[in-house]
């Protein structure tokens, strides 16, 4: 395929992650190096910024500051949740043409892959030549066609460390503690709580993913059983848990233009489950609930080094693929190489339409009944999340009673 000369444009979209700026910087550093790319721009707030022609010149950023940006959580370009209408796609292509944009990289989740796909179809229909690539990110880890997504490892690490500490807290004061973890449809992030469990009596003692039906009575019975067994109970639940009819256990009221219901940014589910346990489980005296919320995706200072590295690499790989001319559009994804058992990430290109609006759920082999995950999940997740801190535990030699 002939080479294509012109400017590159980068946008960020959807919920931010701790390492989404690593991908941004990976894209920028590769774009400025390539002879076919005549300039590298950023769109503020994703496609909204393109439509408003709010573009910035990323080629003029100082390298030192870019490196700091790479280590800063959330979207440095600003983000957006918006699906382009046909009119919006027309406007975006006009802006592309006006600024000679021949490479477009959109960093986001499956909604962003859908946006990239719609823009690609519009460009083909209009006969405008542009290389269009979706660069993956999502803490939910629910993108199709890949092993995992950048952003997940760091969020999973946050969840694991939070549960490690909260398990010690629950052990100190006893009772039932319920933690609500992000994940609308897929339980990958909630499953990561399992990494906190080392000893047999460590929490979380119960783990509820949206991949299984949530049964209120079964939940209360299991909490009671754990209280009897351990004298306490630490629970991980996904915000997306639902009953047999598919109704969310606690419903939000807001819906975005992709049709997603708001589940985060409210303590409703945690408070609901907490009241349920207080009412139905007689052995439960002290019941508390926390909703981890946005800290999971944007906490400054808890990052998986492997995740940060892969987020950077996937940005660089997108530029390499786009300029190679082998394909004109697609979605980058991380696969797991089979290198004699040792973990090795492999960067591959998938079709935009295969990733767009699809959701990859936690598979059966990672689920252990309706309220736990398997050792196979732990093995899968460990290289992505990295080595966790090591808690100490007193041997607790008893002193002989004298009274």
Q: Does residue number 190 form part of the binding site for a copy of itself (CB under 8 A)?
A: no
Q: Rule CB under 8 A: is residue 2 a binding residue for a copy of itself?
A: no
Q: For residue 126, with 0-12 CB atoms within 10 Å meaning exposed, 13-18 middle and 19 or more buried, which class applies?
A: middle
Please report how close the Cβ of residue 166 comes to a copy of itself at its closest, in angstroms.
6
Q: Is 242 in the site for a copy of itself (CB under 8 A)?
A: no
| Binders of a copy of itself in range 25-54 (CB under 8 A) | 41-42, 44, 53-54
> Candidates 114-122, 161-169, 307-315, 321-329 — which segment interacts with a copy of itself by CB under 8 A?
161-169
CA 382 to chain centre: 16
The token pair at 351 is 């079709």
- Nearest approach in angstroms of CB 162 to a copy of itself is 5
Q: What is the DSSP letter of 264?
A: S
Among 32, 34, 36, 56, binds a copy of itself (CB under 8 A): 56
Q: Is 111 a catalytic residue?
A: no
Helices 268-280 and 216-230: crossing angle in degrees, nearest 10, is 70
Indicate which single residue of 31, 76, 139, 373 sits in contact with a copy of itself (rule: CB under 8 A): 76
Cα(154)–Cα(12) distance, rounded to whole angstroms? 18
Selected range binding a copy of itself among 160-168, 186-194, 217-225, 330-338, rule: CB under 8 A:
160-168
DSSP letter at 261? Answer: B
Examine residue 164 and tell whether it contacts a copy of itself (CB under 8 A).
yes
Residue 268, token pair as written in the block: 């409703």
How many of the other CB atoms lie within 10 Å of CB of 342? Answer: 8
- Say whether 72 sits in a helix, a strand or coil: coil
Q: Which stretch, 65-73, 111-119, 130-138, 310-318, contacts a copy of itself (CB under 8 A)?
A: 65-73
Q: Taking CB under 8 A as the rule, which mask of x and - marks residues 285-304 in contact with a copy of itself?
A: --xxxxxxxxx-xxxxxx--
Considering only residues 94 through 123, tell me which ones interact with a copy of itself, judged by CB under 8 A.
94-95, 98-99
Q: Counting contacts by CB under 8 A, is residue 70 touching a copy of itself? A: yes
Annotated active-site residue in 111, 140, 166, 202: 140
Sign of CA dihedral 317, 321, 322, 324: positive
Other Cβ atoms closer than 10 A to 340: 6
Between CA 337 and CA 346 the distance in angstroms is: 6
For the segment 382-401, give every residue that binds a copy of itself (CB under 8 A). 389-399, 401
Q: Which is nearer to a copy of itself, 341 or 389 (CB)?
A: 389
Q: Of the two residues 167 and 211, which places its CB atom closer to a copy of itself in the complex?
A: 167
Q: Identify which of residues 31 and 77 has a Cβ nearer to a copy of itself in the complex.
A: 77
Q: Count CB atoms within 10 A of the CB of residue 372.
A: 19
Q: Is 305 in the site for a copy of itself (CB under 8 A)?
A: no
**The binder of a copy of itself chosen from 34, 83, 126, 171 (CB under 8 A):** 171
Looking at the Cβ atoms of 78 and 210, the one nearer to a copy of itself is: 78
The residues, ordered by sequence, that sit 6+ positions from 287 with a Cβ below 8 Å of its Cβ are 175, 176, 177, 178, 274, 277, 278
DSSP line for 317-335: HHHHHHHH-S-SEEEEEEE
In the complex with a copy of itself, the residue whose CB is nearer, 21 or 138, is 21
Please, which residues have CB within 8 angstroms of residue 94's CB and are 6 or more apart in sequence? none
Hey, which residues are catalytic here? 140
Query: Which residues contribute to the annotated binding site for substrate?
Result: 138-140, 182-184, 239, 294-297
Annotated binding site: 15, 110, 138-140, 182-184, 239, 294-297
């Amino acid at each position: 395929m002939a080479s294509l000369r012109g400017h590159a444009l980068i946008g960020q979209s959807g919920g931010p992650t701790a390492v989404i700026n690593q991908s941004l910087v990976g894209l920028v550093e590769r774009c400025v190096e390539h002879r076919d790319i005549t300039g590298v721009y950023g769109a503020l707030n994703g496609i909204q910024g393109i439509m408003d022609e709010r573009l910035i010149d990323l080629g003029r950023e100082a390298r030192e500051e870019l490196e700091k940006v790479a280590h800063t959580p959330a979207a440095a370009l600003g983000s957006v949740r918006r699906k382009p209408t046909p009119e919006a796609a027309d406007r975006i292509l006009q802006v592309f043409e006006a600024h000679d944009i021949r490479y477009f990289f959109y960093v986001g989740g499956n909604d962003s892959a859908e946006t990239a796909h719609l823009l690609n179809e519009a460009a083909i229909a209009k006969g405008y030549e542009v290389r269009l690539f979706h660069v993956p990110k999502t803490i939910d880890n629910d993108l199709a066609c890949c092993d995992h997504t950048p952003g997940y490892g760091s969020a999973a690490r946050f969840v694991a460390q939070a549960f490690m500490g909260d398990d010690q807290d629950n052990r100190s004061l006893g009772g039932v503690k319920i933690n609500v973890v992000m994940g609308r449809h897929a339980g990958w992030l909630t499953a990561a709580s399992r990494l906190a469990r080392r000893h047999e009596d460590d929490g979380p003692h119960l783990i509820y993913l949206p991949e299984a039906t949530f049964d209120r009575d079964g939940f209360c019975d299991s909490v009671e059983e754990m209280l009897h067994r351990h004298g306490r109970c630490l629970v991980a639940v996904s915000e997306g848990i639902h009953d047999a009819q598919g109704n969310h256990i606690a419903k939000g009221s807001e819906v975005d233009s992709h049709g997603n219901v708001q589940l985060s940014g409210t303590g409703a589910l945690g408070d609901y489950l907490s009241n349920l346990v207080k009412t139905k489980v007689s052995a439960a005296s002290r019941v508390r609930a926390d909703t981890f919320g946005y800290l999971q995706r944007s906490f400054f200072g808890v990052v998986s080094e492997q995740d940060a590295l892969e987020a950077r690499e996937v940005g660089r790989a997108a530029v390499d693929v786009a300029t190679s001319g082998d394909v004109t559009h697609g979605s980058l994804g991380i696969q797991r190489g089979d290198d004699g058992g040792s973990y090795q990430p492999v960067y591959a290109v998938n079709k935009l339409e295969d990733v767009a609006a699809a959701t990859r759920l936690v598979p059966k082999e990672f689920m252990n009944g309706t309220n736990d995950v398997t050792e196979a999940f732990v093995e899968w997740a460990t290289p992505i999340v990295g080595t966790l801190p090591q808690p100490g535990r007193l041997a607790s030699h008893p002193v002989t009673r004298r009274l």
